[in-house]
């Protein structure tokens, strides 16, 4: 790696910062209880000896910098009270202050409104005018046009194209992103869709979800595509009662249900296989058996007293049916491989006899063999008359598994595509402002 003509070896963010490379993180790495000025100078406080910090001098310098770049900030504001956009601006400000000559932005706008996005763009343009180099990572293609000169497209960790942006039209960019060969690892037949199981009408939760409307039928697997921040996980959480909805109706099996907590969602026959197994899916310190029966403990107990024999039977049944590789049903789930953990998380809902399954990124962090097993499980669920909604960031996966694909963008359901659609088509809806 060459930097300003000389070979450099960067083994820490501090080393990179020392030669003038700074990164604006997607998730803010600021101290929320400190002021804007204090955050700007964090780690290199102005002041004298003995750790004395000259607050006044710091505030003055920060205020001057903010003024100079016309940032909509005040030096003495508390960072914790800023919007995500404000925090990003503080990070940018910090990079400028430290004299960085290359700024890396990682999906900076995924959590910003369009006005805030404009503000970030304006600052990026000012930086460019001041001869600061900018690497801007984004999934949103129109953002490239708005601020990019050169474009580099990566796929599966390899550079597939690099060159001036104006030489590429959007169609070509999408082609590069998708790649020609969509590796088919799995193929399934659709079932004829049965009765309506889940109907969502005008569901909204400000500001992340607006006017969501769709139907899931028994025996079908619907894919849910979209970019980071499009609201897919938020939709799952809202349906499952984790975050209450502001507007709209949810009908399960034709009956309207008011779901205000996961408890009510489970009672209504919903299941959510969460994106983050460790945090929300499993109690990793507890045995496989405990996790498996957690959502349906009543089925293996009578009058509040557990029937250990029944629990062991049930656990053994699911361990063999789902081919869960565990030393015993007493082994803590945390010691299983990612794929086997995921199978336990799914088995929990199978045992609960849920009818509508929401899978949020079910193949994250599991190996290809386990992936196919998860797909087969979903297929099996559909065959038995359940309805499945599958969120995935891997479009090829959706195309292999789903009967149809819902595409979200910025909190709205943009369109619904048949399973014969192409990755390009999906990306067009997911990544482009206006589809023409």
Partner 1 sequence: MIQRLLPFLSLIVLFTALAVASPHFLTTTNLSSVVRQTAVINIMGLGMTIIIISNGIDLSVGSILAMAGLLGTMAMERGLPIWAGIAVGLLTGLFWGFVNGILITRLNIAPFIVTLGTLGIIRGLALIISNGLPVHKIPAAFSFLGEGNLLGVPFVLWLLILCALLMHFILEHTRLGRYAFAIGSNREAAIYAGIPVAFHTTAVYAIGGMLTGLAGMIEASRLMTGQPTAGQGYELQAIAAVVIGGGSLHGGEGSVSGTLIGAFIMGLLSNGSDLLGVSPYLQQAIIGAVIILAVAVDELRKRRLA
Q: Is 284 in the site for partner 1 (CB under 8 A)?
A: yes
- 323 lies in the site for partner 1, by CB under 8 A: no
Residue 267 is a binding residue for partner 1 (CB under 8 A): yes
* One residue of 280, 331, 337, 422 binding partner 1 per CB under 8 A: 280
CB of 366 to partner 1, least distance (A): 18
Contacts of 348-351 with CB under 8 Å at 24 or more apart are 348/291, 348/292, 348/293, 348/294, 348/295, 348/296, 349/271, 349/273, 349/295, 350/318, 350/322, 350/377, 350/381, 351/292, 351/293, 351/295, 351/296, 351/299, 351/314, 351/318
Interacting stretch for partner 1, rule CB under 8 A, among 17-25, 41-49, 81-89, 266-274?
266-274
Which positions from 407 through 436 interact with partner 1, judged by CB under 8 A? none
301 binds partner 1 (CB under 8 A): yes
Q: Per-residue DSSP letters for 255-306?
A: EEE---SHHHHHHTTEEEE-S-IIIII--TTSBHHHHHHGGGGGGGEETTEE
CB 75 within 8 A of CB 36: yes
Least distance between partner 1 and beta carbon 260 (Å): 13
Measured between alpha carbons, how far is 319 from 69 in angstroms, rounded to an integer? 61
- Residue 265, interface with partner 1 (CB under 8 A)? yes
Please report how close the Cβ of residue 286 comes to partner 1 at its closest, in angstroms.
5
The least distance separating partner 1 from the CB of residue 298, rounded to whole angstroms, comes to 7
Kindly state whether residue 350 participates in binding partner 1, applying the rule CB under 8 A.
Answer: no
| 247 or 278: CB nearest partner 1 | 278
- Kindly state the tokens that stand for 57: 């001098």
Rounded to whole angstroms, how far apart are CA atoms 265 and 128? Answer: 50
Can residue 392 be called a binding residue for partner 1 (CB under 8 A)?
no
For residues 215 to 254, the per-residue mask of contacts with partner 1, x marking binding by CB under 8 A and - elsewhere, is -------------------------x-x------------
Q: Is 279 in the site for partner 1 (CB under 8 A)?
A: yes
| Closest to partner 1 by CB, 208 or 275 | 275
Under rule CB under 8 A, residue 285 binds partner 1: yes
| Tokens encoding 18 | 């020392």
CB-count burial class (<10 Å; 0-12, 13-18, 19+) for 63? middle
Among 103, 174, 177, 266, contact with partner 1 (rule: CB under 8 A): 266
Helices (H) and strands (E) in the chain, counts: 15, 19
Instruction: Find all residues with CB under 8 Å of 62, minimum gap 6, and list them.
Output: 36, 37, 40, 41, 75, 93, 97
Give 143's contacts (C-beta < 8 A, 6+ positions apart).
Answer: 109, 117, 121, 136
**Total residues binding partner 1 (CB under 8 A):** 29
* φ, ψ dihedrals at 104, nearest 5°: -110, 125
User: What x-and-dash track marks residues 74-93 binding partner 1 by CB under 8 A?
Assistant: --------------------
316 is an interface residue for partner 1 by CB under 8 A: no
Which is closer to partner 1, CB of 49 or CB of 279?
A: 279
**Nearest distance from C-beta of residue 305 to partner 1, angstroms:** 6
How many C-beta atoms lie closer than 10 Å to residue 432's C-beta? 16
Interface with partner 1 includes 309 (CB under 8 A)?
no
Binding site for partner 1 (CB under 8 A): 240, 242, 261-263, 265-267, 272, 274, 279-286, 290, 294-295, 297-298, 301, 304-306, 308, 348
């Amino acid at each position: 790696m060459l930097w300003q003509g000389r070979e450099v070896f960067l083994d820490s963010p501090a080393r990179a910062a020392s030669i003038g490379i700074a990164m604006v993180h997607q998730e803010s790495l600021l101290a929320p209880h400190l002021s804007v000025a204090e955050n700007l100078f964090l780690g290199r406080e102005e002041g004298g000896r003995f750790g004395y910090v000259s607050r006044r001098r710091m505030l003055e310098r920060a205020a001057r910098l903010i003024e100079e770049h016309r940032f909509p900030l005040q030096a003495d504001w508390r960072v914790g009270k800023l919007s995500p956009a404000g925090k990003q601006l503080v990070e940018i400000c910090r990079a400028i202050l430290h004299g960085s000559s290359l700024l890396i932005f990682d999906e900076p706008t995924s959590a910003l409104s369009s006005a805030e996005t404009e503000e970030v763009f304006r600052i990026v343009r000012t930086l460019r005018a001041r001869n600061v180099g900018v690497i801007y990572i984004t999934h949103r293609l129109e953002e490239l046009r708005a601020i990019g000169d050169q474009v580099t497209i990566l796929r599966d960790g390899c550079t597939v194209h690099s060159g001036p942006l104006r030489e590429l039209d959007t169609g070509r960019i999408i082609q590069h992103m998708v790649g020609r060969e969509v590796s088919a690892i799995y193929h399934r037949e659709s079932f004829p869709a049965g009765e309506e199981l889940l109907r969502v009408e005008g569901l909204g939760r400000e500001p992340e979800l607006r006017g969501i409307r769709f139907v899931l039928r028994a025996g079908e697997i619907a894919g849910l595509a979209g970019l980071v921040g499009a609201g897919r996980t938020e939709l799952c959480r809202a349906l499952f009662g984790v975050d209450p909805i502001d507007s709209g109706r949810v009908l399960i099996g034709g009956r309207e249900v008011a779901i205000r907590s996961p408890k009510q969602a489970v009672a209504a026959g919903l299941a959510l296989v969460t994106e983050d197994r460790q945090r929300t899916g499993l109690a990793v310190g507890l045995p496989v058996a405990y996790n498996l029966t957690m959502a349906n403990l009543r089925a293996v107990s009578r009058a509040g007293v557990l029937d250990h024999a029944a629990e062991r039977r049930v656990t053994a049944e699911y361990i063999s049916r789902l081919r869960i590789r565990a030393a015993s049903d007493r082994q803590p789930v945390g010691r299983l491989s990612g794929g086997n953990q995921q199978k336990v998380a799914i088995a929990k809902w199978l045992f609960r006899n849920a009818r509508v399954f929401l899978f949020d990124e079910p193949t994250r962090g599991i190996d290809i063999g386990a992936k196919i097993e998860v797909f087969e499980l979903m297929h099996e669920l559909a065959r038995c008359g359940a309805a499945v909604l599958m969120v995935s960031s891997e479009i090829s996966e959706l195309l292999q598994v789903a009967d149809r694909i819902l595409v979200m963008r910025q909190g709205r359901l943009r369109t619904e595509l048949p399973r014969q659609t192409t990755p390009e088509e999906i990306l067009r809806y997911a990544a482009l402002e206006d589809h023409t």
